[in-house]
């Protein structure tokens, strides 16, 4: 008969929840476990635990920060060591100060565990993709849908989470906290907080001459301190949501009207605006890229502006900004919401429709106009052909059933003109290989995992370039679709990406860096236009003049005014100086 080898609890003993092993003849490992258990069970103050935890987080969860500092220091490791040590001290003091706010003997363990998990997850994404945990990045993460979340989940995240978080979670969970009175804990916590602040201030004063220029020239370092940066960013977003005033919608569409070109038009205009996703201008063959990634567009004689800057480095920042009448500076400073380009076009009497193949949606741009998801209502054959993942479709799906979508718009508006806005999935990472069709996979081998650092640089570039090839094919088919409707409409297309993408340059991946420190790769975007002969004549555009304007610097600020100018919509918010076509409008046909 088997006997229970566990000793019975004796009166006065404490049930710790941990196994108790016999001391006699116990194996060495079990004896060590018992010693560790006994050590963990010694009553300690909450301040002792947060000191340990602050030190651990400073050492184990700030690898990307220290690596970035060493990279900045280059080969001058001995000279740069004081900066590295000071940064470590500041992170330690900051973590201790943060945790001291929660250094109480009751009900704090779940909060400490949450801080550890936040630090572990943040370090994984900073190390894997080179992102920083500023408020805008966290806002993007909050708005990420399940499709995008799936792309970011992988075995390495689980491994890194266990590697970093398992030990401190075990210690926190089994540690015994000594009970103290509220006032006793309060003054001791205050002393520890002031000591951490004084030590940090002393270190900064002692090395201010060396450290201040470092932080001024490399501002992203402040958003790499872990878990200080993610906690600060989350607090900032929460504070904005709780204490910001209720945003009002400010109208700008008043006075919008159709111009003189509509009075005796033979055909109404049909203008397609394609909002690209994560495309880099320097990977477009049209712009001089060494690979011919845009052969279909080149064959259709499009116009490609080569020096275009985005409004932001993420969809959340860029899409509302590029459709705003305020421009980048005004949009970012606005305390209220404003009507946008789609509202003005609709107020002028045109039929306006937004079609989305982006899971994140239109970021509020299409809220007041007819809009739909390209995925909704698809037949089984189309899903099998263009939606291989089941819940995500290739961009070509937006061309299926498009005539029926337009026919469903009010007839009196369609007779004046149609503006169709299509929001791509485009080159959204990190699963680039999912964003190109079999026929567009021209460059192989390609990276087929979402842990981008596991791929060679060549494989990563191949996967991204294949998405550009697919976008080229999609835009070529869109132009062909417009050409087929030339008997009924004067047609045109404008394609503009919302932001770019980092592909390993400077150790960065994906996008979303703070704009002031973001590399050019995340801000330099393609802008492509195509006009039918009917639309050029209607708009009195000189093709020769436009071809001479392709090196003119543009930004997302120009989109609002360029579309209004091309559609001949008269409104007080239109500025000819920001219309990319204004300088070539009104030319004679012989000049074009």
Question: Is the residue at 18 inside a domain?
Answer: no
DSSP-derived secondary structure letter, 389: T
The helix (H) or strand (E) run that includes residue 509 is: strand 509-510
Indicate the pTM of the whole model.
0.76
Q: Which of 210, 243, 276 is the last residue of a domain?
A: 243
Residue 428 and residue 148 in contact, taking contact as beta carbons nearer than 8 Å: yes
Under 8 Å between Cβ of 214 and 82: no
Place of tokens 């951490």: 196
Instruction: pLDDT band for 26, please (50, 70, 90 cuts).
Output: low
* 8-state DSSP, 102: T
For residue 559, is pLDDT > 50? Answer: yes
Q: Is residue 119 part of a domain?
A: yes
Instruction: Tell me, yes or no, whether 556 and 513 share the same domain.
Output: yes
Q: Are residues 285 and 342 in the same domain?
A: yes
Number of domains within the chain: 2
Residues 325 and 217 in one domain: no
Provide the token pair at 10: 């004796």
Task: Tell me, yes or no, whether 430 lies in a domain.
Answer: yes
Instruction: Assign 387 to helix, strand or coil.
Output: coil
Are residues 330 and 454 part of one domain?
yes
Of 98, 78, 560, the residue nearest 343 (C-alpha):
560
Q: The tokens 């929001």 sit on which residue?
A: 423
- What does the pLDDT look like over 124-152, one tens digit per residue? 888 888 788 888 777 777 766 666 667 77
pLDDT for 78 equals 57
> Does residue 14 lie within any of the structural domains?
no
Mean pLDDT of the chain: 87
What per-residue confidence (pLDDT) applies to 182? 86
Write out pLDDT tens, residues 276-286: 999 999 999 99
- Terminal CA-to-CA distance of the chain, rounded, Å? 101
Among 498, 432, 419, smallest CA distance to 459 is for 432
In a domain, residue 262? The reply is no
Most confident of the following: 207-216, 222-231, 446-455: 222-231
Residues linked to residue 177 through DSSP beta bridges, in sequence order = 44
Contact 426, 283 (CB under 8 A): no
> Is the confidence at residue 24, as pLDDT, over 90?
no
115: in domain: yes
- C-alpha 273: how far from chain center: 22
- pLDDT average, residue stretch 326-354: 96
Q: Both 35 and 128 in a single domain?
A: yes
Query: Same domain for 405 and 504?
Result: yes
92 and 190 share a domain? yes
Distance of CA 532 to the CA centre of its chain: 35
Mean per-residue pLDDT, 319-333? 96
Q: What is the largest CA-CA distance in the chain?
A: 106
Say if residue 2's pLDDT is above 50.
no
Residue 249 belongs to some domain of the structure: no
pLDDT of 208:
67
Domain check: are 218 and 272 in the same one? no
**pLDDT (average), residues 193-211:** 82
| 199 shares its domain with 272 | no
Q: How far is CA 263 from each of CA 36, 90, 259, 260, 365, rounded to the nearest angstrom?
A: 87, 69, 8, 6, 29
Containing domain of residue 55, as a range? 28-243
Answer yes or no: is 155 within a domain. Answer: yes
Q: Is 125 left (phi over 0), alpha (psi -120 to 50) or beta?
A: alpha
Which of 179, 208, 243 finishes a domain? 243
The answer to whether residue 77 scores a pLDDT higher than 90 is no
pLDDT at 111 exceeding the cut of 80: yes
pLDDT digits (tens, 9 = 90+) for 483-527: 999 999 999 999 999 999 999 888 788 888 889 889 999 999 999
Question: Is the same domain home to 468 and 567?
Answer: yes
Integer angstrom CA distances of residue 74 from 68, 514, 515: 10, 23, 24
Q: What is the CATH number of the domain that holds 316?
A: 3.40.720.10
Least confident of 110-114, 469-473, 533-537: 110-114
The answer to whether residues 341 and 204 belong to one domain is: no
Contact assessment for residue 500 and residue 317, using Cβ atoms and an 8 Å cutoff: no
pLDDT at 323 > cutoff 70: yes
Looking at residue 589, the DSSP 8-state letter turns out to be G
Q: What is the pLDDT of residues 358-415, one digit of tens each?
A: 877 899 999 999 999 988 778 888 888 898 876 789 999 999 999 999 999 999 999 9
406 and 351 Cβ atoms separated by less than 8 Å: yes
Of 243, 277, 297, the domain-final residue:
243
- Residue 419, both tokens: 């503006």
* Number of continuous H segments (helices) and E segments (strands) in the chain: 22, 15
- DSSP one-letter code for 397: G
pLDDT of residue 234 exceeding 80, the answer is yes
Question: Same domain, yes or no, for 37 and 181?
Answer: yes
Whole-number Å distance between alpha carbons of 423 and 305: 20
């Amino acid at each position: 008969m088997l006997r229970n080898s566990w000793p019975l609890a004796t009166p006065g003993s404490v049930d710790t929840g941990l196994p108790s092993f016999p001391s006699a003849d116990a194996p060495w490992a079990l004896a060590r476990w018992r010693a560790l258990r006994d050590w963990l069970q010694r009553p300690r103050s909450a301040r002792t635990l947060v000191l340990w935890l602050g030190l651990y987080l400073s050492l184990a969860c700030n690898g990307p920060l220290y690596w970035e500092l060493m990279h900045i220091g280059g080969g001058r490791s001995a000279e740069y060591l004081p900066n590295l040590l000071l940064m470590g001290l500041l992170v330690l003091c900051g973590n201790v100060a943060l945790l001291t706010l929660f250094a109480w003997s009751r009900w704090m363990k779940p909060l400490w565990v949450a801080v550890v998990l936040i630090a572990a997850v943040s370090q994984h994404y900073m190390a894997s993709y080179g992102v920083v945990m500023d408020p805008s990045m966290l806002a993007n993460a909050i708005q990420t849908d399940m499709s995008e979340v799936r792309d970011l989940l992988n075995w390495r995240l689980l491994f890194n989470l266990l590697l970093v978080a398992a030990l401190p979670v075990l210690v926190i969970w089994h540690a015994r906290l000594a009970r103290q009175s509220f006032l006793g804990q309060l003054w001791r916590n205050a002393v520890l907080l002031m000591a951490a602040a004084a030590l940090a201030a002393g270190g900064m004063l002692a090395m201010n001459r060396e450290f201040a220029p470092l932080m001024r020239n490399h501002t992203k370092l402040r958003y790499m301190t872990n878990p200080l940066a993610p906690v600060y960013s989350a607090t900032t977003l929460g504070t904005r949501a709780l204490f910001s005033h209720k945003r009002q919608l400010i109208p700008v569409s008043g006075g919008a009207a159709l111009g003189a070109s509509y009075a005796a038009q033979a055909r109404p205009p049909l203008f397609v605006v394609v909002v690209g996703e994560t495309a880099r201008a320097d990977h477009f063959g049209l712009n001089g890229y060494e690979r011919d990634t845009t052969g279909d567009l080149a064959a259709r004689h499009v116009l490609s502006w080569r020096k275009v800057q985005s409004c932001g480095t993420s969809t959340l920042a860029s899409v509302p900004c590029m459709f705003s009448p305020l421009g980048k500076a005004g949009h970012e400073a606005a305390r209220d919401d404003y009507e946008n380009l789609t509202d003005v076009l609709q107020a002028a009497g045109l039929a306006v429709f937004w079609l989305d193949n982006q899971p994140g949606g239109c970021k509020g741009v299409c809220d007041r106009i007819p809009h739909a998801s390209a995925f909704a209502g698809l037949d089984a054959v189309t899903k099998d052909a263009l939606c291989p993942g089941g819940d995500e479709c290739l961009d070509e799906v937006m061309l299926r059933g498009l005539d029926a979508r337009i026919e469903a718009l009010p007839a009196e508006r369609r007779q004046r003109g149609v503006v169709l806005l299509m929001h791509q999935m485009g080159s959204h990472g990190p699963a680039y290989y999912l964003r190109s069709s079999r026929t567009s996979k021209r460059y192989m081998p390609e990276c087929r995992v979402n842990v981008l650092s596991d791929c060679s640089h060549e494989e990563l570039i191949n996967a991204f370039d294949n998405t550009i090839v697919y976008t080229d094919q999609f835009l070529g088919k869109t132009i062909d679709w417009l050409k087929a409707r030339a008997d009924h409409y004067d047609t045109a297309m404008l394609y503009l990406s919302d932001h770019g993408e980092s592909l390993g340059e400077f150790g960065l991946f994906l996008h979303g860096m703070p704009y002031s420190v973001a590399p050019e790769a995340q801000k330099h975007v393609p802008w492509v236009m195509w006009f039918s002969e009917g639309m050029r004549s209607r708009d009195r555009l000189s093709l020769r003049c436009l071809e001479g304007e392709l090196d003119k610097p543009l930004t997302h600020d120009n989109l609002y005014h360029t579309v209004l100018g091309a559609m001949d919509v008269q409104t007080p918010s239109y500025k000819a100086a920001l219309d990319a076509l204004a300088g070539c409008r009104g030319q004679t046909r012989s000049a074009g």
